[in-house]
Amino acid sequence: MSQKISPTLIGAFVVGAVALLVIGVVAFGSGQLFRKTQEFVLYFDGSVNGLHIGAPVKFKGVEIGSVKDIKLEMGLGNQVHKIPVIIEIDLKKVIRRGVTREKAMDPNTIEEFVKQDLRGQLQTESLVTGVLYVALDWFPETPLRFVQPAGDHFQYEEIPTVPTELEQAHEVLVRAVKKIDAIDFKRLIDSLAKTSDGVGQLVAVNSPTVKSILQSMDQAMPQLRGAISDFRRLTTTVDHNVEIASGDLHQTLTAAHSAIEQIAATMKEAQTTIVSLRATIDPNSPTFYELVIKLVAAIAVVGLSLAGCGSLFPPPQPNSSGIYLLTSPLKTADRQDQSRSAQISLGVGPVRLPGYLDRREILTRVAQSRLDVSQNDRWAEPLDENLAHVLAQNLSVLLGSDGVISYPWPIAKGPDYRVTVEVLQFECNSALEAQLSARWWVTDRNGTGALEPKESRLTRAATDKSTGASVVALSETVADLSRQIAQAVIAVDRQREP
């Protein structure tokens, strides 16, 4: 007689099988088990209220990842210094949307994109709910500011950020209100009131024109005060709704311009009146003297107010900016070696700049610890990229080799040698000298030191004070550095000849 099977055992087996099935569906169905991701950190200055773990990360509106974690970074006095946001990019989503597998898997891809003005920004998913997401996009001509110190090793690679559109609008409006607050409107109104009292008697005698001037001023000043009030209101409401604030801003600017135009027309009319009164009143009389003094004072005060407002609404200025590039002054005749240097393959880069040079504006050193920033002249591309390209071009000429490439290069086809350059100083000074200080070293294909680190300090004289002459002199210093590097590479290669 066979043994009876236990119903309890059968039930436990069924329950266990169902539980394993559920776990398998969750693990494999969600794709979390075998998902390939890359993690990065973004540091935000402002509030991240509305951003949650799991919020999407989008590149130009296309979802490519999600927010993994949100942390706090405390500064001095236990104050919140930065808010690090950890994101993870799903490489499968990136590849599925058209990026090649090699490009997506390359750890240097994001680093290169950052050099090409890739930045992170908090953007609103919905104005109704206030939910935020992390947007990755190109932001040309934005400063490259890293929170993590260069050269140190961190758990996550950093992607720089830019302020939100709301923060930028708020900053502009705060600056506008500060400019308006700097105008002493109380003194202006008091002066106009005194002028009105002082010329009241003359108006009653024979001056309908003066009466018209004072009426015009009385009508214009409330409009100007109203525009100022609207500016103050905008700074408190801009945090709630950008679209509404921008509409109000347009109306406020229109009202302010109208008031300014009316006051300007009144000033012209007052000047004309002073001239015409000479024919009506004895120029030697005390009455005429008092009237002219008071009207001139009124014109001066109103002119100051227009100057203050004019700084807020400046007229369009012609574009006088200059865009400059470093170039190679070398020719084929400058080649330093005619034997085997053509067979050398050399990688140039990365070229690292100090923080103060990480900008598009061209700098001039006017003192040991002071730099002037040009308001009009800019580099045409990021300076580190321009330097790397010109160095590679110079070295290709000097070595007579077509195997000189700029960083980054394919891992499978690495060059025989690699030169890394750390720029310490690179600008012209007030004595018309272009100065380049750099630390550089050469390594072989395996990354081992083929040469002790070198430091170069180079100067070239500019032909005149123009920015163009300064850029030419700076290009010459880069050529001098290229000559030193080429000599070192040739010497190392000769030592390794069989």
Residues 487 and 411 in one domain: yes
Residues 302 and 386 in one domain: no
Residues 307 and 354 in one domain: no
Residues 127 and 197 in one domain: no
Q: Which range in 120-124, 242-246, 330-334 is most confidently predicted, on average pLDDT?
A: 120-124
Residues 249 and 295 in one domain: yes
Q: Mean pLDDT over all residues of the chain? A: 74
Query: For the ranges 4-18, 59-73, 363-377, 390-404, which has the lowest average pLDDT?
Result: 4-18
Check residues 190 and 143 and name the one with the higher pLDDT: 143
Query: For the ranges 124-128, 416-420, 434-438, 485-489, which has the lowest average pLDDT?
Result: 124-128
Per the structure, the complete domain to which residue 53 belongs is given by 37-163
Closest CA to 309 of 212, 369, 228: 228
Check residues 216 and 19 and name the one with the higher pLDDT: 19
Q: What percent of the chain has pLDDT over 70?
A: 59
Q: How many Cβ atoms sit within 10 Å of the Cβ of residue 117?
A: 16
In angstroms, what CA-CA distances link 155 with 83, 88, 158? 16, 13, 10
Report the pLDDT averaged over residues 89-108.
69
| Full-model pTM | 0.41
> In this structure, is residue 131 part of a structural domain?
yes
Closest CA to 52 of 72, 73, 68, 30: 68
Q: Which range in 91-105, 277-291, 350-364 is most confidently predicted, on average pLDDT?
A: 350-364
Q: Is the pLDDT of residue 204 over 50?
A: no
> In this structure, is residue 15 part of a structural domain?
no
Residues 431 and 474 in one domain: yes
Q: How many Cβ atoms sit within 10 Å of the Cβ of residue 57?
A: 24
State how many domains the chain has: 3
Check residues 190 and 235 and name the one with the higher pLDDT: 190
Residues 216 and 294 in one domain: yes
Q: Is the pLDDT of residue 327 over 80?
A: yes
Q: Which residue among 163, 197, 229 closes a domain? A: 163
> In this structure, is residue 28 part of a structural domain?
no
Report the pLDDT averaged over residues 87-93.
85
Confidence band, pLDDT 50/70/90 cuts, at residue 436: very high
Check residues 52 and 294 and name the one with the higher pLDDT: 52
Report the pLDDT averaged over residues 158-168.
84
Check residues 328 and 192 and name the one with the higher pLDDT: 328
What is the predicted pLDDT for the residue at 456?
Answer: 95
Task: Please state the separation of Cα 272 from the chain's center in Å.
Answer: 49
Residues 184 and 257 in one domain: yes
> In this structure, is residue 471 part of a structural domain?
yes
Q: Which residue among 129, 163, 197 closes a domain? A: 163
Confidence band, pLDDT 50/70/90 cuts, at residue 244: very low
What is the predicted pLDDT for the residue at 49?
Answer: 86
Q: Is the pLDDT of residue 269 over 90?
A: no
* pLDDT tens digits, 301-310: 555 455 554 5
Q: Which range in 94-98, 253-257, 395-399 is most confidently predicted, on average pLDDT?
A: 395-399
Q: Which range in 77-86, 113-122, 189-198, 418-427 is most confidently predicted, on average pLDDT?
A: 418-427
Query: Which residues face 58 on adjacent strands?
Result: 63, 135
> In this structure, is residue 29 part of a structural domain?
no
Q: What percent of the chain has pLDDT over 90?
A: 25
Residues 50 and 108 in one domain: yes
Confidence band, pLDDT 50/70/90 cuts, at residue 475: very high
> In this structure, is residue 23 part of a structural domain?
no
Residues 155 and 196 in one domain: no
How buried is residue 475: exposed, middle or buried, by Cβ count under 10 Å (0-12/13-18/19+)? buried
* pLDDT tens digits, 356-389: 998 889 999 998 889 998 888 999 899 999 999 9
Confidence band, pLDDT 50/70/90 cuts, at residue 25: low
> In this structure, is residue 107 part of a structural domain?
yes
> In this structure, is residue 219 part of a structural domain?
yes
Instruction: Say if CB 323 and CB 382 are below 8 A apart.
Output: no
Q: Which range in 32-36, 343-347, 456-460 is most confidently predicted, on average pLDDT?
A: 456-460
Q: Which residue among 283, 312, 341 closes a domain? A: 312
Confidence band, pLDDT 50/70/90 cuts, at residue 245: very low
Residues 172 and 262 in one domain: yes
> Domain of 415: which CATH number?
3.40.50.10610
Residues 148 and 176 in one domain: no
